[in-house]
Amino acid sequence: MSTSETGLQAGGVSRRGAIGLMAAATAGAAGVPGGALASTLLPGAAKIHSIDAQYALPGGRIVEGYFARPSGKTSLDVLLVMHGEAGYGDAAQQTAARYAAKGYLAIALDLKASFGKKVGNDRAALISEARKMVPAFAKMTHANGRVTLVEA
């Protein structure tokens, strides 16, 4: 796959590219450089598709994290998973995967990578920045306009 086919750009994935990658994941595509595409089957749960990438929200703000959703579903509630003091990692991604298996568009945000340049490392300030972006998350592809923040 070429860079234009995947939507990969220097430093991440464009919004259009991420949509394309999610569509490719739905079709069962293999992994692509720059973003770990995965189809995951949790025991007794719906099949989910996920990507660990950068995403350009409506309005142009770039966020980083793990994006997961159930296969073949649209018009989903969005759950923003806020990682703990230890930072972004497996616990946040596993929490997002569990919510995706239950029917949500779940996003484990890398708060520091997404908002740290603006507000530093203070967790409360990072979460405050994430809250300001809720209207943009509500407009994501596959979202139905409802957004909730949860702890990992």
Provide the percentage of residues in the chain whose pLDDT is more than 90.
Answer: 61
Full domain range(s) for residue 119? 3-151
> What pLDDT, on a 0 to 100 scale, did the predictor assign at position 34?
31
Is the predicted pLDDT of residue 71 greater than 80, yes or no? yes
pTM over 0.75: no
Token representation of residue 69: 């959703």
Task: Flag whether pLDDT at 19 surpasses 80.
Answer: no
- The mean pLDDT of the chain is 78
pLDDT in tens, 98-123: 999 999 999 999 999 999 999 999 99
At 20-52, the pLDDT tens digits run 444 433 333 332 323 333 444 445 556 999 999
Q: Give how many domains the chain has, as a whole number.
A: 1
